[in-house]
Structure 1
């Protein structure tokens, strides 16, 4: 878990003052782990939020009082909230009007001078590149979210929209979404998604990082084939193609004709997702999201009508 500076900045731009509530410390059984956070903003009807710290009553009360709560609160979930978890949670609540002063790597803050334990944690984290959120006394230390996995989604049809909407909240994914026209995309893009519009999208494959992951699901089989061809020439960490057994058999033959070996072609995963979940775009998106998160290659087919 880490501090999502971009999400906070976007929320401030849209809503003004934003409260951030983060699980700073846990004891025993609790709904969420240290670092789980939510953003809360005021509305004419009361408040609204994004993200979750879990726990039903805990989350509702924390959001309801986010602009008046003490900075640190330790809450036994049973006695204080009537919840059956049995543990205790310490919440850190902070109100932000700007994110410009938040560092780009590690955010350490608290009252008074920085304690030695915090200085030591920062030095070790910067030397080793590894840090977990932790409360040191009254000081909270959190790594800043960095999107470290470039994911290119080719196609903004029903399945593309469902996949992007499902994956966009994941903080480690840097999603680039490609299609041929602006009207193929939804009116509002999820936060953190980069939109690319090109009459010939296949030409953009050359600009994808070689470590990028690709999901190919355009409206055109010819375009899908060309994207697979160019991905194999360009290099990638993962490439998945939506399609049926018939489609993939034809693609394999045509990719061989284009000069690719069977070993190279086998690097492309077709179909993608979990076929047993069904063919509804949202069901496909759930399966694909699970595959992207887990890194598994799934070999079963969606069936004839998907491609």
Structure 2
């Protein structure tokens, strides 16, 4: 979970001074993995590092720092009786205070890594750490959060996939609300019908134009979920989707609907192997047909989705296809 500068800047813009708490090291059993973070301000917070008393005490320490304490603090805590917890592990927590000036001065010698000194007694920056960060800065995967000799390094880039949902009906809106807080997705909810996007969830991009416009503006590696109010519109979008590059395609509907669509898409000139790149039905039928249940099943499929090849236009393994 890389350093999210935009989320931090948004919080600072609203609240003025914000403390960021991040788990930098986790040993043994712990509620959340290393890299998990949360923000705290004078009268509220967002996110969670988990752990009950661990989070409560970390927030109290952050509140003291907001009142004029140190700008950065490293704490090591055992998740045992002293915290009234029985996880058995141990964590290292770094808390830092940010304001507008701090953010403006936030600089790094690396393109995608935020490196800073979090312990005032830290020795000079280790040469081995610099070499490690230079390699990580050009790697294909983000750096894992690293604390070494009082120096903290975090990736500043976040791999994310655009998700386009066509239809803001019951299921489309429910899916958007499930995906909205997940940082690995940037979700677009498209619907040309008046009023359907009026209560678009926070964090979701609304696209009120024609269905085809939303699709034409989608990124090449986007995931698409087609769930309009009419079968002919669904078919047209499937036709358009199969005519372009995409990472994942899902169509709401039954096996019978998909059988009919397959025949019509073949008649439109799409080869079988291309048609197979759209998944229908979507979700997990064992969860039921309630919109939120369907949305949870679809979101789970998306979370498990991994392209077979980096530039592949689709790709689900057999386990995912049978879900």
Instruction: Give the structure 2 partner of residue 178 of structure 1.
Output: 190
Instruction: Give the structure 2 partner of residue 86 of structure 1.
Output: 88
Contact residue 145 and residue 172 of structure 1 kept, 8 A: no
* Residue correspondences, number: 294
Instruction: Give the structure 1 partner of residue 76 of structure 2.
Output: 74
Measure, in 2, the Cα distance between the counterparts of 1:214 and 1:128: 28
Measure, in 2, the Cα distance between the counterparts of 1:82 and 1:12: 33
What do the CA deviations read for 1:143-202 (whole angstroms, capped 9, x no partner)?
0142432221212222122212212222222222221146212535332x332220x212
Structure 2 residue 228 is the aligned partner of structure 1 residue 228:
no
C-alpha RMSD of the superposition: 2.2
Contact residue 25 and residue 93 of structure 2 kept, 8 A: yes
Contact residue 75 and residue 92 of structure 2 kept, 8 A: yes
User: 5+ unaligned residues in a row in structure 1: which ranges?
Assistant: 301-307
Measure, in 2, the Cα distance between the counterparts of 1:148 and 1:87: 30
Measure, in 2, the Cα distance between the counterparts of 1:188 and 1:155: 12
User: 5+ unaligned residues in a row in structure 2: which ranges?
Assistant: 306-315
Structure 2 residue 212 is the aligned partner of structure 1 residue 210:
no
TM-score of the superposition, structure 1-length normalised? 0.87
Distance of aligned partners of 1:188 and 1:246 in 2 relative to their CA distance in 1, 3 Å threshold: closer
Instruction: Give the structure 2 partner of residue 105 of structure 1.
Output: 112
Corresponding residue SS for 1:162: helix
Q: How many Å apart are 1:206 and its aligned residue?
A: 2.3
Structure 2 residue 294 is the aligned partner of structure 1 residue 284:
yes
Structure 2 residue 81 is the aligned partner of structure 1 residue 61:
no
What do the CA deviations read for 1:100-155 (whole angstroms, capped 9, x no partner)?
43666111111465333432222121233441101112111110142432221212
Corresponding residue SS for 1:210: coil
Contact residue 154 and residue 177 of structure 1 kept, 8 A: yes
Instruction: Give the structure 2 partner of residue 303 of structure 1.
Output: none
Measure, in 1, the Cα distance between the counterparts of 2:219 and 2:303: 19
Measure, in 1, the Cα distance between the counterparts of 2:228 and 2:15: 35
Measure, in 2, the Cα distance between the counterparts of 1:210 and 1:252: 23
Contact residue 197 and residue 208 of structure 2 kept, 8 A: no
Structure 2 residue 10 is the aligned partner of structure 1 residue 14:
no
